[in-house]
Structure 1
Amino acid sequence: MDAVIQELNGTEGENTQHRSATLLNKAEYRNLCAAEPSIPIFSNAWWLDAVAGPDGWDVALAKVNGRIVGAMPFCMTRRHGMKVIQQPPLTPVLGPWIRGDQGTPTTRLSNQQKIMQSLIEQLPWFDHFSQAWNKDLSNWLPFYWNGFSQSTEYTYVIPGLDDLDGVWSRFDPTRRKHCRTAVERHNLRVRDDLPLDAFLALHRMTIESRGVAQAFTDDCLRRLDAACVEHKRRKLHIVVDEAGRHCAATYTVWDNNCAYALLKGSDPDMHHTQAPSVCQWEAIKFSATVAPKYDFLGNMNPSIEPYVRSFGTEQTPVFTITKTPSRLLRLRRGLLSALAGGHQERLIHRKPAR
């Protein structure tokens, strides 16, 4: 396949001609996103503009006879002088997009591999690369041939949203009971007209209760929220009690293929009301009106995974593709891994306290 490859750089010191080619590529990609419904929401140009800034992302394009057949958006940052390609904030997955084509499985696979090779060759030089791919991407072989590595994580998906009765029947019985308890015993109701600040307050409660830092700034979420509202791609559900107290919330986004549980939040003092369960069920029911399936976007945390699994989800692999050409970074990662291993060894052999 004769793919037209245009080397993308997007770094300091680009000459004017190269920058013009980069801007042309991004303009073509914006037009592609506007016309192609199969591009995932997280890979859309408007999403990347919101989370990374219009100049904070780039894209490689593969073409055949002037027609775009593959695209790979990416975000590059600098860390301690190192060039790092990684996920932007609030963007759980990226990865290549490849136009679906007809033909035999052998032909389709061959075309995929040629397109991916074209995209790989366009990536600018980097010290470290890490991208979590959309769950629908399962062929990373060309990346393996080019020295990349893969690790597998899991997300949890509810298919068949066109049959909500079937979805409900696959819930764990305890989860169904919790949803009923929230409404019948605690008189909770779900609102979808509350402002983003109400969601942010509940999200902060959640991360503070877990002792972790928020992975994005409030301003970043506000920009993304404005973009999602403009494109009619988000829904906020917030559970309130009879006194008007906010108990739990979900932030759902979607594309034509899937709805996603992008963010959640809850008041730990209200968990006895089962507010998170009924909020999640309302988000799933709404998602059935806009998409064929619902993706929880994880979670592999052993304290959270059973909760996600209890909604009758299907475990689905997600690939994270990495490469670290920098010898300095490889050495640092090796040292950190060794130190972490030594720490675990000490914990294993430590005598229990009397």
Structure 2
Amino acid sequence: MITNKEKYRDLCSQELSIPIFSQAWWLDSTAGDCWDVVLLEKGGEILASLPYVTKKRYGFKLLTQPVLTQNLGPWLRPNAVKNSKKLALEKDLIQELYAKLPKHDFYNQNWHYDRTNWLPLYWLDYQQTTKYTYIIPDISNIDKVVSDFEHSKRKNIKKSEKIVKIVFDISPEEFYENHKMTLKKQGQTISYSFEVFYKLYKNGYANNSAKTIAAYDELGNLHAALFVVWDKNSAYNLISTIDPDFRVYGAASLLIRDVIIYVSRFVNKFDFEGSMIEPVERSFRQFGAVQIPYFSIKKTPSRMLRVLQGVHELKVGW
């Protein structure tokens, strides 16, 4: 018997509208065997899907999304029906998808920004928090893209062009170790393992969907590097590593420009993978990117876990 995951792999190979973070190879890389998928089918055709990752915490079963994954959530087959029928169809499909999820204590996923109707889950007592990403919606005209950068970013580019050399395809080992080192300089620890990053790197390159780009000075110092991924619709600035000792030389801005030039041959959009952290948000905005909202959806079916969450919030409030 063909499993849902096998059917989903075939779906991902055929459907261009499925974002990279919901692709089967991405979930294999970031979640291993801990992911599965709910499918709705009619007449041998998959109408909707909902991949999820299962985690265990203190005896509670959590349905969520893996590390380095901007969004997950439901995919609905595109159709051309009238708006009133479309909304009715979305309601039925989304509610049926979520009804088929395995029993769990907690659910939390970020939806792709194209999925704008969460009302069907509001009626099922889910909660929603609005978050933001920043996107350059059209990168086909590079001169126009760069002209929309704020003056400070263009100034950084001119400065860094005289200091650093741009190199593509640095190794996963060098990228990861540099990110770990630069975070340590800032008193932070890396949030993902080398094993996960290596799988993403290897599978991303194998699917022609990933690239590393880095800036070195003449002494061999690595100023900054990016790991960028893309699907058929958009590129995503997945990981940035910037050495604080060399930040003033502006190499990160040069990397953004050059990687946009590179991915413009494949896609029309560039997604900065927005942040709710104020300095990061300001930097993304200065590249002329447009603010786009997306939904973080959650629900806690477990009464015991709801009580524990309430106690934790009370302690934080105190």
TM-score by length of 1: 0.87
Task: State the shift of 1:244 in Å.
Answer: 1.9
Instruction: Please give the alpha-carbon distance, in whole angstroms, between the structure 2 residues aligned to 1:95 and 1:245.
Output: 40
Letter in structure 1 aligned against 2:173: D
**Contact persistence 1:205–1:268 (CA under 8 A):** no
Matched, 1:51 2:22: no
User: What is the CA-CA distance between 1:173 and the residue it aligns to?
Assistant: 0.9
Residue 252 (structure 1) aligned to one of 205, 211, 228: 228
Q: CA deviation at 1:193?
A: 3.1
Cα deviation, residue 37, structure 1: 1.2
Choose the corresponding residue for 1:331, options 295, 307, 310: 307
Letter in 2 for 1:274: G
Q: Deviations over 1:70-104 (max 9, x none)?
A: 10100111111100011112212101111111121
Shift, 1:209, TM fit: 3.6
Structure 1 unaligned blocks of 5 or more:
1-19, 343-354
Counterpart of 1:182?
A: 160
Query: Equivalent residues in 2 for 1:100-179 (5 A)?
Result: 100-179=78-157
- Partner residue in 2 for 1:294: 270
Q: CA deviation at 1:62?
A: 1.0
1:41 to 14, 20, 30: 20
Q: How many residues matched? A: 318
Q: Which amino acid aligns with 2:308?
A: R
Determine the C-alpha separation between the residues in 2 that align with 1:256 and 1:211. Answer: 37
**RMSD of Structure 2 on Structure 1 (CA):** 1.3
CA contact (8 A) 2:172 2:197 kept: no
Please give the secondary structure, in 2, of the residue aligned with 1:150: strand
Higher radius of gyration, 1 or 2? 1
**Partner SS state of residue 279, structure 2:** coil
Distance 2:65 2:190 in 1: 15
Cα shift readout 1:40-72 (whole Å, capped 9, x = no counterpart): 11101111111111x211101112222111101
Q: Is 1:272 matched up with 2:248?
A: yes
Q: What is the aligned partner in structure 2 of residue 72 from structure 1?
A: 50
Rounded Cα–Cα distance in structure 1 between residues aligned with 2:184 and 2:64: 25
Alignment partner, residue 233 of structure 1:
209
Q: Equivalents in 2 of 1:209, 1:100: separation in Å? A: 46
For residues 202 and 98 of structure 1, the distance between their equivalents in structure 2, rounded to whole angstroms, comes to 39
CA distance in 1, matches of 2:134, 2:178: 23
Whether 2:64 is the aligned partner of 1:86: answer yes
- Is 1:205–1:265's contact at 8 Å kept on the other side of the alignment? no
User: 1:58–1:74: 8 Å Cα contact kept in structure 2?
Assistant: yes
Deviations 1:7-66 (A, max 9, x none): xxxxxxxxxxxxx6xx6111111110011111111101111111111x211101112222
Superposed CA offset, 1:286-306 (max 9, x none): 121111101111111012211
User: Does 1 or 2 have the higher relative contact order (CA < 8 Å, sep 6+)?
Assistant: 2
More displaced 10-residue stretch of structure 1: 202-211 or 277-286? 202-211
SS at match of 1:125: coil
What TM-score do you get using the length of structure 2 for normalisation? 0.97
Instruction: Give distance in 2, aligned partners of 1:202 and 1:90.
Output: 17
The amino acid that maps onto 2:175 is F
Task: Give CA deviations for 1:235-257 in whole Å, capped at 9, x if unaligned.
Answer: 10000111222110000000011
1:31 match:
10
Alpha-carbon shift at residue 336 of structure 1 (Å)? 1.9
* Equivalent residues of 2:226, 2:255 under 8 A apart: yes
Matched with 1:341 is: 317
Q: What is the percentage of aligned positions where both structures have the same residue?
A: 36
Shift, 1:208, TM fit: 2.0
Structure 1 residue aligned with 2:74: 96
Equivalent of 2:195 in 219, 222, 244: 219
